[in-house]
Amino acid sequence: MKLKLNVTLFIIMFNIIPIPAFQDNYIWLIENGSHAVVVDPGDATPVIAELKKRSLALSDILITHHHTDHIGGVDALIREYSPQVYAPAKESYEFKHTPVLEGQIINITPLNLSLQVIDVGGHTIGHVAYYGAESIFCGDTLFGGGCGRLFEGTPEQMFASLQKIVNLPTETAIYCAHEYTERNLQFAKTLENNNPALNARILMSHELRIAGLPTIPSSIALELATNPFLRCTSQEIKDNLGLKIADSIEVFTKLRQLRNQF
């Protein structure tokens, strides 16, 4: 289903900075030189350090879902900066926040930034993404070369959520919350070894990691060309799964089962 965008989304010059946390998390910091927004701050310590280093005031926090590695730093950041916090309306949170639903527009005045909320349930029932300025902050829904595990939702829900994302403009930058790309691409190669775009991406991702750089952001165009969870109609993938005439939901379900074990 194609998502209907009902607003013109506009942003001034800004930087999007990955803040590594834990073993493989990224907390995304969006800043314009004076103010900042953070997405999914699972740990406050590196966020506060980055804000102080750059002399930034934290105006807002965006939460995609309720898992601890995405919200663990919120209370400390509220105490330190008193930001406005946005979080999914379909989930429960103990900290003060503004609940958000699909289609809602969040206006972050200090950054002149507007973001549209997209319901992307699957990883969790209430999971949301934030879209604007040719970027999407999608938490644990779409990863580089993969997608999130289904802790609460169904394959049908996750598949539908991914379709919402990939129907956005193909140049949209994807800011997910984990550095899983290399492992995901290793899995993809077992299914579609003859995909030249995939093989090129494997090399590129490895070079980035060797250099100590993130493989994120990617783009919708790159994911459509290389991510098996978005390529459920690929005959090579179907053949390797033994599902020659299966529909996309069957293929997606099998892919998720196999990736869980990979």
Annotated binding-site ranges for Zn(2+): 65, 67, 69-70, 123, 140, 178
Buried-exposed string 29-59: b where 16+ CB fall within 10 A, e elsewhere: bbbbeebbbbbbbbbbebbbebbeeeebebb
Q: Strands (DSSP E) along 140-240, which ranges? A: 142-143, 146-147, 173-176, 218-219
C-alpha 19/C-alpha 167 separation (Å) is 28
Q: What are the binding residues?
A: 65, 67, 69-70, 123, 140, 178
Let me know: does 167 contact 136? Beta carbons within 8 Å: no
Strands 135-139 and 173-176: parallel
**Sheet containing 128-132: order of strands:** 105-108, 113-119, 128-132, 135-139, 173-176, 218-219
Q: Strands (DSSP E) along 34-161, which ranges? A: 35-39, 57-62, 84-88, 98-100, 105-108, 113-119, 128-132, 135-139, 142-143, 146-147
